Copies of this chain bind each other. A is one copy, B any other.
Amino acid sequence: MTYGYNGQILRVDLSRGATSVDAVDELFCRKYLGGAGFVSYFLLKELQQGIDSLGPGNKLIFALGPVTGVPLPGSGRHCVGAKSPLTGGYAKSESGGFWGAELKYAGYDAIVVEGKAEKPVYLWIHDGEASIRGASHLWGKNTKETQETIRAELGDSLIRVAAIGPAGENLVRVACIMNDLKDAAGRGGMGAVMGSKNLKAIAVRGHKRPKLAEPERIKELRQWVLAHRELWASFAEYGTGAAMEAWVATGNIPVRNFLDGEFPEIVEISPTALRDKIRIKMEGCYACPVRCKKVVKVDEPYSVDPAYGGPEYETLAMIGSNCGVSDLKAIARGNELCNAYSLDTISTGGVVAFAMECFENGLLTTKDTDGIELRFGNAEAMLKIIDLIAKREGIGDLLAEGTAWAAQKIGKGAMEFAMQVKGIEIPAHEPRLKAAMGLGYAVNPHGADHNASLHDTFISQPGAFFDRVKPLGILEPLPADDLGPRKVAMFRDVHLFRIAQDNLVLCLFLPYDPEQAANILAAVTGWRTSTTELLRVAERTLTMARSFNIREGLSAADDKLPNRFFQPKRNGVLSTKFYDPEQLERAKSYYYTLMGWDAKTGIPTPEKLQELGIEQVAGI
Binding site for B on A (CB under 8 A): 27, 30-31, 467, 470-473, 475-476, 484-486, 488-489, 493, 513-515, 518, 522, 527-537, 590, 593-594, 596, 607-608, 610-613
A194 to B: closest C-beta gap in Å: 33
**What chain B residues lie within 8 Å of A528 (beta carbons)?**
467, 470-471, 513, 515
**What chain B residues lie within 8 Å of A531 (beta carbons)?**
530-532
Choice from B30, B471, B612 contacting A532 with Cβ under 8 Å? B471
**Complex: A336 Cα to B608 Cα, angstroms:** 49
**Complex: A513 Cα to B518 Cα, angstroms:** 14
**What chain B residues lie within 8 Å of A493 (beta carbons)?**
532
**Known contacts A471-B532, A515-B530; can you find 15 more A-B pairs with CB under 8 A?**
A27-B475, A467-B528, A470-B527, A470-B528, A471-B529, A472-B530, A472-B532, A473-B536, A486-B610, A486-B612, A488-B611, A493-B532, A514-B532, A530-B530, A531-B532
**What chain B residues lie within 8 Å of A513 (beta carbons)?**
528
A203 to B: closest C-beta gap in Å: 36
B607 touching A590 by the CB < 8 A rule?
yes
- Taken together, the copies of this chain in the complex come to 2
**Complex: A527 Cα to B475 Cα, angstroms:** 11
B470 touching A529 by the CB < 8 A rule?
yes
11 contacts between A and B (CB under 8 A): A467-B528, A470-B529, A471-B532, A473-B535, A484-B610, A513-B528, A514-B532, A515-B522, A518-B530, A593-B607, A594-B596
Choice from B470, B485, B527, B530 contacting A607 with Cβ under 8 Å? B485
**What chain B residues lie within 8 Å of A590 (beta carbons)?**
607
**Complex: A484 Cα to B608 Cα, angstroms:** 11
The answer to whether residues A471 and B607 also contact, given A27-B476, A528-B515, A594-B596 and a CB cut-off of 8 A, is no
The CB with the most chain B CB atoms within 10 A, among A30, A475, A488, is that of A475
A176 to B: closest C-beta gap in Å: 33
**Complex: A530 Cα to B529 Cα, angstroms:** 11
**Complex: A611 Cα to B527 Cα, angstroms:** 32
A610 touching B530 by the CB < 8 A rule?
no
A610 touching B485 by the CB < 8 A rule?
yes
Which residue of B is nearest A610, CB measured?
A: B485
Which residue of B is nearest A528, CB measured?
A: B471
A498 to B: closest C-beta gap in Å: 14
A532 touching B529 by the CB < 8 A rule?
no
**What chain B residues lie within 8 Å of A473 (beta carbons)?**
529-530, 532-537
A613 touching B472 by the CB < 8 A rule?
no
A495 to B: closest C-beta gap in Å: 13
**What chain B residues lie within 8 Å of A31 (beta carbons)?**
475
**Complex: A536 Cα to B492 Cα, angstroms:** 13
A5 to B: closest C-beta gap in Å: 15
A543 to B: closest C-beta gap in Å: 12
A101 to B: closest C-beta gap in Å: 27
The CB with the most chain B CB atoms within 10 A, among A467, A484, A489, A493, is that of A489
**Complex: A107 Cα to B76 Cα, angstroms:** 51
**Complex: A537 Cα to B470 Cα, angstroms:** 12
The answer to whether residues A611 and B530 also contact, given A518-B515, A537-B473 and a CB cut-off of 8 A, is no
**What chain B residues lie within 8 Å of A527 (beta carbons)?**
470
**What chain B residues lie within 8 Å of A529 (beta carbons)?**
470-471, 473, 515
A471 touching B533 by the CB < 8 A rule?
yes
**Complex: A610 Cα to B590 Cα, angstroms:** 12
A501 to B: closest C-beta gap in Å: 14
A475 touching B30 by the CB < 8 A rule?
yes
